[in-house]
Chain A
């Protein structure tokens, strides 16, 4: 039962363009969402988060959008840089889930070409 899904295993983007990574969830008890970036041989690095009371959160080049009715969130990276090439995971937590547990998607491999 995959409660958080990232349907695109990979995404390839040209440097300077926008990268859009998508994530869908099924559990309506989720009320907090996070994006993590992971390089090979390293642990996931926290990028940005959003509470369900908001529909948008920005931090520099990164913006997360949340559509609660569609149970969908997306991460926009503008402009994309070669150093952004990594695996991106979305994660969710919330009421009714194990306290503090993050449920992760399977990840999307982003490649930014110079």
Chain B
């Protein structure tokens, strides 16, 4: 158990819908990262937050957004969902942004029908 929690574990929705994925980092960690794992793309970095502020962006679609709240939990919002958004979404955390060792949650499996 990494100490990172993610909810929900599974999510099934329809195209065009909007969903919110939630992540709570390990106790004491200030930085949160979101990754997407799809069958053909592997693990891809989406976005990073540190202490409530966005610090880095990867190949995140404009339809996707995230935020980190004062209690340090983070949410990833996915809107206007398409079939291709079906994937595993992982959250990871680290103590500080410059610390390379990131600890991953169990993931949320999103299925868009």
Q: Which A residues fall within an 8 A CB radius of B? A: 32, 34, 36, 41-46, 49, 89, 91, 93, 98-107
Contacts and interface: CB of A to CB of B under 8 A. Distances in A.
B61 to A, nearest CB: 16
Given A100-B33, A100-B94, A44 B43 contact: yes
Contacts of B57: 98
Contacts, number: 70
A93 B4 CA distance: 21
A91 B45 CA distance: 11
Contacts of A43: 2, 4, 6, 90, 92, 104-107
A101 B43 contact: no
B106 A100 contact: no
B90 A44 contact: yes
B86 interface: no
Interface stretch (B13-21, B77-85, B95-103): B95-103
Query: What are the 8 A-B residue pairs with the smallest beta carbon separation, nearest first?
Result: A43-B104, A98-B56, A104-B43, A101-B45, A32-B100, A44-B104, A99-B56, A100-B97
